[in-house]
Amino acid sequence: MVVPVDLSNAPSDAELHRRLVYGDESALAEAYGAYGGLVRRVALRVTRSPGAAEEVAQEVFAQLWARPYAFDTGRGTLRTWLSMLAHRRAVDWVRSEERHRKAAHADEDALYAIPAPGPAPDEVVVDMERAFLLHSALAELPLPQRQAVHLAYFAGRTYREVATELGIPEGTAKTRLRTALRRLAELLAEPPDASASESVERGA
C-alpha cells in the first residue's frame, strides 16, 4: 500500500501534535526548527540573558514533548502557545533570579548582562525594572489579547496576519492589540518609583 506523506514546508499543528503524542522524536526536532527561534527570542527579550533563553527554550520544548496533551489544537496555534509558554517561563525565571539575588544579599551583582556602552546605570536599572513590570503584566493579560500581542510583537505579524491566524475580524485584532497595549501604557503612566518598587515587591 502506498501512503503519501505530506512533506510541505510548514508542518501543520495537528500533524505535528499527532506525531508528538505518539512519541515521534523527529516531530520535536521539526517543532524546534519551526519555532525554536521565536521561543528563544521571546525568552531573550524578557531575561536578557542568552544562557537563560536557552534554559527557557529547553524547558518549553521539554514540556511540549513530555506533555503533548497540554497543547490543545482546538484552542489556538502551536506558534502562539509556545510563544506564550516561553514568555511565562521567562518571567518566572527573572522572578526566581530576583529571589535568589535577594536571598544571597548579593545586590552588588548585576542581575542582567548589560551591554556597554549604555545609559547611566541608574537609568538602566529603572528601565529594566519597568520592562519587567510590563512583561509581568503582559503575562497576565487575558488570553485573546495575549495571543494577539504575541503574534504581532514577538512573531512579527501584521494585524491582518494576526486576524487570519486567530480566525477573527481585522477590527477585532486591532482592538485586542489596542486594549493590551493601553493596559501596559497605563502601568507606565503610574509614578515610575511606585511601579518599580511594586515590581520588586511582586518579585519577592
Partner 1 sequence: MSVDHEGVRDLIAAWALGATLPAEEPRLLSHLAECERCAGEAEQMREAVRLLDGDPRAAGAGPEEGAAGPEEGAAGPEEGIADPAEGAHSMPTDPAPATPGPTTRILTAALRARPAAPRVAPYAAPYAAAVAGLQALLRELGESGPWSTPVVHDWDIHATVAHLVAADEPLALHLGLPPCEPRSAVPGGVAWRDAWAARTAEVIAREHRRTPEDTVATWQERTARLLAAPEARDPELAAPAATLLGIRMPVAEHYLVRAFEAWVHTDDIGRALGRAVPPPPDPQLWQLVTLAVRILDLALGTTAPPVLLTVSGAGGETEWVLGSEADPVAAELVLDPVDFCLLIGGRYAPADVPRGLAGDPDAGRGVLERAASLAWL
Nearer to partner 1, 21 or 143 (CB): 21
Check residue 36 for interaction with partner 1 (CB under 8 A).
yes
Cell of 198: 511594586
* 111 touches partner 1 (CB under 8 A): no
Burial class of 161 by CB neighbour count within 10 A (0 to 12, 13 to 18, 19+): middle
Residue 159 touching partner 1 (CB under 8 A): yes
Which H or E run includes 6? none
The Cα 188–Cα 192 span in angstroms is 7
Cell numbers 501543520: residue: 12
Q: Residue 8 or 104: which CB sits closer to partner 1?
A: 8
Segment interacting with partner 1 (CB under 8 A) among 43-51, 101-109, 196-204: 43-51
Q: Which is nearer to partner 1, 5 or 194 (CB)?
A: 5
Rounded Cα distance between 136 and 62, Å, is: 23
> Minimum CB separation from partner 1 for residue 22, in Å?
4
Question: Which of 92, 139, 168, 175 lies at the binding interface for partner 1 (CB under 8 A)?
Answer: 175
Footprint on residues 78-97 left by partner 1 (CB under 8 A)? 79
Residue (of 53, 187, 37) closest to 112 by Cα position:
53
In angstroms, what is the minimal distance from the CB of 149 to partner 1? 7
Q: Are 64 and 30 in contact (CB under 8 A)?
A: no
The verdict on 139 binding partner 1 (CB under 8 A) reads no
